Amino acid sequence: MTALTLAAVLHVSLAAAGTESGAESYADAHRATVETGRPMVVMIGADWCGPCRTMKKQTIPQVRKNGLLKKVAFAVVNADHESKLARKLTGGGPIPQLVMFRKTRSGWKRWKLVGGQSVDSVEKFISVGLTMDEAEKAERL
């Protein structure tokens, strides 16, 4: 995802208010990732979506309890309440989606995980992103 597209997504998100399940707003998570360099992980879901509810109420809280969400900037975007932002983040694709953004030397990189996920698969997704992030930081030294 280009910096311009990410900036557009941030612009749309500034109008969005509120957070879910203790997550930061998208705007807060974006600000944190820019300031700290930590990857940003966003869960996009909806209230009517069964797998989204499961991830929001069971999977994500367990990942948070295990401590992995402390290593990234994390936000939840409700596709019903923040539809423009959700469409930008998912590219109009299915939900639930976990999207990770990492800033690299060549610009913003985007990875996604689509569908209902287990704690293990979410933790692996985040861990792989963190490992790639650390490897790139080490290359800069």
Residue by residue, pLDDT tens for the chain (141 residues) are 454 444 444 444 433 333 344 567 899 998 988 888 889 999 999 999 999 999 999 999 999 999 999 999 999 999 999 999 999 999 989 999 999 998 887 888 899 999 999 999 999 999 998 887 666 666 655
Owner of token pair 């539809």: 83
Helices 3-14 and 83-90, axial angle in degrees (round to 10): 160
Distance of alpha carbon 77 from alpha carbon 74, whole angstroms: 10
> Under a CB-based contact definition with an 8 Å cutoff, are residues 37 and 24 in contact?
no
Assessment of whether the complete model's pTM goes beyond 0.85: no
Contacts of 139 (CB under 8 A, 6+ apart): none
Which domains are present in the chain?
3-140 (3.40.30.10)
